[in-house]
Structure 1
């Protein structure tokens, strides 16, 4: 019978709490609490007005404000009780946020443009030390440097190659608290996501195969594992309202999948 590691999980129930990364590194599962599924989070506007709380995870038509200002007290007001909840189970002292679309951006972009004959290249010798990438594998002499005449794609179709877009954000508890709460997380992540909006929207377009029609309103979705995705607002609400969903993939995405399969098959020959 398999056993679950207990050394870190035991200590994690009492402060000081470990980070989410430390727990996961020890093989201990960490999940975002069920209360996070009630968050109605618009990918626009200022915090906290951009975020509401659903009465249940499947009632987008029944919203309560995350923060209710007190008109007689200026900037003061009342935070929704969900804000005090620990963000994760078990509790953690820090969480690292990342965006799925940015994690996939470079790979998807290369999948679309790698075979284009009009792509723009420079050699490694023409690049600065700061911009020069490491080799994909260690060389025989133990170095990670490519030959100076090795070509490197830098742009295609009027777009620069999306390098270093997979940024992260470390979220820590507010002063006086030893674990990350839902309020800590949402208040830190919302403005960070908005600062990345241009890259996120471009990454989504690439993944979807540069669709001719693109949604204009979006929602932030965070799953139990903490993965952040930016979703079409209409589809997001329908998915939580019991409305039937269109499960067909866009034609451009199907074409990308077909091309990727052909490349894998040709590489294996």
Structure 2
């Protein structure tokens, strides 16, 4: 008789249970930018704890026209394996509220309102720009493995982010009343998987950008050490 399929929890149920769930050390190896297709956007560093370690492409096209994906794609996405994860973008989560705040004091002649079912009205357009809608979500599910892999996550989230890039740029520029300039790259903070933080090179010039990646490596090391200590304690041993 075949063994029953492994039933893993969702990311959200692990969070609700109070357990600490983080990106795996393998996910911390990604340097993920929005520069078009995956081949042009994501690189993999050799050592997640050393931001200066060598990098390789996450995905490449081989001479026969096939696609080669880095082995890190097969790694588990999280320190606790999960069957699915729902993803949002932090800049879009707060965009509607920020948009309202940014346009609160502008001239009434530059505003358009809509009537709601309860008889109240709300700001619908300002300076000819529509009010942002509810934040979008992306559900990533396990495919080839019982658990969500790095490849599952990249395969679902990267095209989703590309489709949202214009909105992300508008959200980032909401207080300037202009989208983030396309001369500036957007890149992902790998520290949180469910509510993605996005950075941009307009805010972090090269020295600061390098410092950010050093900070990411430090977080990866800290979390690896905490996991090792917890495992040692569980088995009555010593993390050293």
Does TM, normalized by the shorter one, top 0.5? yes
Task: Point out where structure 1 has 5 or more consecutive residues left out of the alignment.
Answer: 1-13, 125-144, 244-269
Structure 2, unpaired ranges of 5+ = 213-240
Do structure 1's residue 51 and structure 2's residue 21 form an aligned pair? no
Are 1:172 and 2:141 matched, yes or no?
yes
1:110 to 1:22, Cα distance in 2 relative to 1, 3 A: same
Number of residue pairs matched? 204
2:85 aligned to which of 83, 95, 102: 95
Q: CA–CA distance in 2 between the matches of 1:45 and 1:61?
A: 24
Offset, 1:200: 0.7
Structure 1 residue runs of 4 or more that deviate by more than 6 Å after TM superposition? none
Partner of 2:176: 209
**TM-score (norm: length of structure 2):** 0.74
Counterpart in the other structure of 1:40: 31
Shift of 1:121: 1.4
Aligned to 1:120, what secondary structure does the other structure show? strand
Superposed CA deviations along residues 73-100 of structure 1, whole A, max 9, x for unmatched, are 43143x3222111001100000111101
**Residue 96 of structure 1 aligns to a residue in which SS?**
strand
Contact kept in structure 1, 2:23 and 2:192, CA below 8 Å: yes
- Quote the residue 1:146 is aligned against: 118
Change (3 A) 1:59 1:187: same
Shift of 1:218: 2.1
1:25 aligns to 2:24 (yes or no): no
Matched, 1:67 2:35: no
Residue aligned with 2:176, SS: coil
> Cα–Cα, structure 1 residues 212 and 203, in superposed 2: closer, same or farther, change >3 Å?
closer
CA contact (8 A) 2:10 2:85 kept: yes
Match of 2:166 in 1: 198
* Residues 121 and 239 of structure 1, relative CA distance in 2, 3 Å threshold: same
Of 187, 193, 197, which residue of structure 2 is paired with 1:219?
187
Compute the displacement of 1:195 (Å): 0.4
Following TM superposition, by how much is the alpha carbon of 1:122 offset from its aligned partner in structure 2, in angstroms?
Answer: 2.6
Q: 1:92 to 1:236 in 2, by over 3 A?
A: farther
Looking at secondary structure, tell me which structure has more helix per residue: 2
Alignment-derived partner of residue 71 in structure 2: 81
**Matching of residue 156 in structure 1 with residue 137 in structure 2:** no
TM-score of the aligned structures, taking structure 1 as reference length: 0.67
Q: Tell me if structure 2 keeps the 8 A contact 1:105–1:162.
A: yes
CA displacement at 1:212 relative to structure 2: 9.4
**Is the 8 Å Cα contact of residues 32 and 226 (structure 1) preserved in structure 2?**
no
